[in-house]
A and B are shown apart, each in its own frame.
Chain A
């Protein structure tokens, strides 16, 4: 077991190295780097930009050497836990990314959405499986498949148009009402939740489908196994058969699936956040992307890659914990 984990961690490190190399090379291949954009801005504002100044800029941002040179400097700094400073506002990258306003917002949306996703999808999956080929099964299947098929930007904009613009039930966009001082903490939380409702709803509806289909197929497989027939033959109540005997075994893929969810909790929903003007990490990364802010993009993506590699490892370990038949080698 211990040996297995060590081996997996070493492989994970190699994978992360590969990911970082590809990402860095691609980023440096971007045709308009940050300095160029900056210089165009400076020139537009009427300042004189000398060649020496440009060279100086490249040097201070660490972009003067070749791509490989730059990569190894970056790697060396990372090993010293120095992730660099954001090109855009010169703040420490870690402070920027793990800002409660950015990562916090995205995490809040993703966490709440995930809870609701499970709360809604699992019961739906179970009823669809126990009533296979009935009207209920068809209706649930069609509804969740429509959910999967919705383009996030289209659905988000439509919700915004209907519930915020036309009906006015929810604020159109942003994180809080502009220019309002709250009388109490409760009011502030209420306002925050009102702003978060539509984004969370969008994420939940888009993600229910996959989880529900998974629950349904797993449940069907278990319901057809022999021990369920035995349980029924013993004369157990149907509810006991389903929730105590069958459901416990469908939990295996659900529990291991939890580990795979870790990266999505922190990645932020890029499109949804841009649609609703949230200051989450997703829209922040999208913005950093268009401005070629290399330290931010590298740190953000490497953090996610780290989480997903760890998620896979954790999922495999969980398998062994939940299902005693699985042996790790």
Chain B
């Protein structure tokens, strides 16, 4: 989702606030409230004090969608990381050499039938069976196993890319918003330039440059996504800058100024924690889009290289082989479904977090 849209999204729902108001009477008193009650005897003992974190968690878990998202992601993580430990029958790049002999008959013009017997020994495009839970792909590798290893790679890459992008964005946006003036102007213009650069063509160019420099296949995608982060931080930077510009004018920041706090303390103790909710939401949502991005790159043959597996690489085969597209759904379908589940999970959680962390809902 676009970062600009994110900034605009801040739903206020009063029915939720109203619900919150009616609940305290029977709610369990939190520990903090109890200690206060013992020492100072507050006027209203029924008042329930909840820490902000608990309030957010409660709102988050009340939404069925965010729970669904959480379950989907936990399942995928378990599948990807624990799966290969439990199911060790095939390796990620192991080819099954127990292929059966293939017969194909061609009718000749003079009435004879020519039978071609091929025996290459590779058990490719096998149907799902006890040996191969989801069958094998065109190179005779077990799809179920590759799905698990592919998940590891796809999820790791998107996490790394999002953390790198966010770190860059927070630093640049923070500097820009806090110092303002010329620094702000320069950083924002750099943002404008980077936002005008088309990402997909850019990745195509950088992909070929990496190819020419003989980057080893297993590091290739990490490098590519790292470079992608160098170009995609402006969204986060703008979000952080906008928030800091707003917070800088608040009374509590004026107070912090008057107390003579150091700049790092003001930034890291007073400003960043207040933007954290928005950053968290934006990061969760971009995790989903990074997975989509990685798979698109792999689909264009720019991402993870065969024999290594990623969900995108496993779908890529249908762009080359229309027979696989039409007859072997088990080769490309499962990885596509995994991509959808992962992205959907991140979107559900991001959506739930946005609603739960919305400061306008907090009393």
Indicate which residue in A15, A138, A145, A214 contacts B196 across the interface (CB closer than 8 Å).
A15
Interface residues on A, range: 35 or more
Nearest-CB distance from B362 to chain A (Å)? 15
A residues near B339, Cβ cutoff 8 Å: 151, 154
A residues near B10, Cβ cutoff 8 Å: 217, 221
Contact of B209 with A23 in the complex, beta carbons under 8 Å: no
Q: Tell me what chain A mostly uses at the interface: helix, strand, loop, or mixed.
A: helix
Is B5 part of the contact surface with A, judged by Cβ < 8 Å? yes
Is A69 part of the contact surface with B, judged by Cβ < 8 Å? no
Task: Encode contact with B along A217-261: 1 for CB under 8 Å, 0 otherwise.
Answer: 110110010000000000000000000000000000100000010
Task: Encode contact with A along B73-88: 1 for CB under 8 Å, 0 otherwise.
Answer: 0000000000000000
B residues near A27, Cβ cutoff 8 Å: 205
A residues near B2, Cβ cutoff 8 Å: 210
Contact of A14 with B189 in the complex, beta carbons under 8 Å: yes
A residues near B202, Cβ cutoff 8 Å: 26
Contact of B11 with A217 in the complex, beta carbons under 8 Å: yes
Is A321 part of the contact surface with B, judged by Cβ < 8 Å? no
B residues near A220, Cβ cutoff 8 Å: 11-13
Q: A151-B340, A153-B296, A154-B315 are in contact. Are A224 and B13 (CB under 8 A)?
A: yes
A-B contact number at CB 8 A: 147
Contact of A148 with B193 in the complex, beta carbons under 8 Å: no
Pick 13 A–B contacts, CB within 8 A, sort by A: A16-B196, A18-B193, A31-B208, A132-B13, A145-B347, A149-B343, A153-B315, A153-B319, A165-B326, A213-B351, A271-B299, A289-B204, A305-B198
Interface residues of B (CB under 8 A from A): 1-2, 4-5, 8-15, 64-65, 189-190, 192-193, 195-198, 200-202, 204-206, 208-209, 211-213, 288, 292, 295-296, 299-300, 312, 315, 318-319, 325-326, 332, 336, 339-340, 343-344, 347-348, 351
5 tightest CB-CB pairs across the interface, nearest first?
A31-B212, A149-B343, A18-B193, A154-B336, A305-B196
Interface residues of A (CB under 8 A from B): 11, 14-16, 18-19, 22-23, 26-27, 29-32, 132-133, 138, 141-142, 145-146, 148-154, 157-158, 160-161, 165-166, 210, 213-214, 216-218, 220-221, 224, 253, 260, 267, 270-271, 274-275, 285-286, 289-290, 297, 301, 304-305, 308-309
